[in-house]
Amino acid sequence: MAPEPQLDPVLEPTPEPGSDFRAVGIDDDTRLVYRYVLAQGTVRVADVARDVPLAGTDAGAMLARLRAAGLINRTAGNEGEYTAVDPRVALRALTDRTAARLDRVRATIPDLAGLFEQTADTAGPGGGVHVIDDPALIGAWYTRLEHEVTAEFMAFDRPPYVLASENPVEPLVLERGVVWRAVYAAEVLDRPGAWAEIRHAAAAGEQARVARSLPTKLAIADRRTALVSSDLDPRRPAAVVVEGGPLVDLLCAAFEAVWADAVEIPAADDLAGAAAPDRGPGKDDRALLALLASGAKDEAIARELGLSERTLRRRTTDLLRRLGAANRFQAGVQAVRRGWL
């Protein structure tokens, strides 16, 4: 059997510095076709379909896209042939056009920002207090704070939510070196999958604690701008944006007070041996105490530890007895005195 024809190395789709054409509307397959035209000089649709691995993509459509971008020409005498334009001219023109479009988009920012501020019911020019009663705008402001934060992000996390539970922006913020601290209300942990989501965020760098309850939802960026919920009705949520001044300082102080009293979430390693307790203050004891102190319901704790609720109650009773405590609160006090927490 004859060997399969080898593709010219010039066609290999290996990324090169500065070769990402997606920024100018040219995907990887179309870039591959472009390199082929440059290497061959003159090509037909049939040539591209035969020689370029496009996984079923229409070769004619690729050539038409390159022609529309000004990178190749169609021969006048033969409609089936295409030739390349000098890339030193064509690519420079294409990138200049793209830059001009981006500049036009950039120029619309002040006007669009003005519309956003009007909808958000801005009180006074240049900052102050913004009252928002639209879920989409509340979500937009939260995302805006994530994008603008440079050093520290603080948050109270509790239902109801106006955005999806998964936050794709937070990992990007953490990659920038931002310190992200979040206090979760115990009721958050009742939602299936909540523990895994919190630990996933912790693995990315988030510092997380749990409080028995939280009075409201809160996000503070760089101790400069705060978004705080003023109405938690899921049908008609409302929030206030505070930019600078003593109100933000007060909200920062409130966050620090709650953070100091909140319970650290036990690491996954601390829970690994939770099903086989010993008689001393081991990881299993500390993990169970932390979960009990968080205020989470027995159902949520049992699910996280992989226990039945009956087994959880038995272990809790045994732990209280060993600590000489009549209830969970007393158990927490005794655990602190003994250095267990």
pLDDT digits (tens, 9 = 90+) for 149-169: 999 999 999 887 776 666 788
What pLDDT is attached to residue 226? 93
Domains of the chain with bracketed CATH = 9-105 (1.10.10.10), 127-264 (3.30.870.10), 268-337 (1.10.10.10)
Higher pLDDT, 105 or 180: 180
What pLDDT is attached to residue 13? 44
Mean pLDDT, residues 234-239 taken together: 84
- Contact 262/209 with Cβ under 8 angstroms? yes
What pLDDT is attached to residue 123? 43
Query: Mean of the per-residue pLDDT values for the chain?
Result: 76
- At residue 21, the 3 state secondary structure works out as helix
What pLDDT is attached to residue 271? 45
What pLDDT is attached to residue 82? 85
Tokens encoding 234: 């899921």
What pLDDT is attached to residue 79? 61
Sign (positive/negative) of CA torsion 321, 327, 328, 332?
negative
Please compute, for residue 66, the number of CA atoms within 13 A of its CA located in the half-sphere on the CB side: 32
Element holding 304 (H helix, E strand):
helix 298-305
Give percent of the chain above pLDDT 90: 12
- What does residue 17 show for φ and ψ, rounded to 5 degrees? -55, 130
pLDDT digits (tens, 9 = 90+) for 317-331: 888 777 777 677 667
| Global pTM exceeds 0.75 | no
pLDDT digits (tens, 9 = 90+) for 208-226: 888 877 888 999 999 999 9
What pLDDT is attached to residue 114? 66
- CA separation for the pair 301, 152 (Å, rounded): 30
The top-scoring range by mean pLDDT among 23-32, 33-42, 277-286 is 33-42
Give percent of the chain above pLDDT 70: 73
Cis omega before residue 160 (within 30°)? yes
- At residue 150, the 3 state secondary structure works out as coil
What pLDDT is attached to residue 136? 83
pLDDT digits (tens, 9 = 90+) for 49-100: 888 887 767 888 888 888 888 888 887 665 678 888 888 887 888 788 777 7
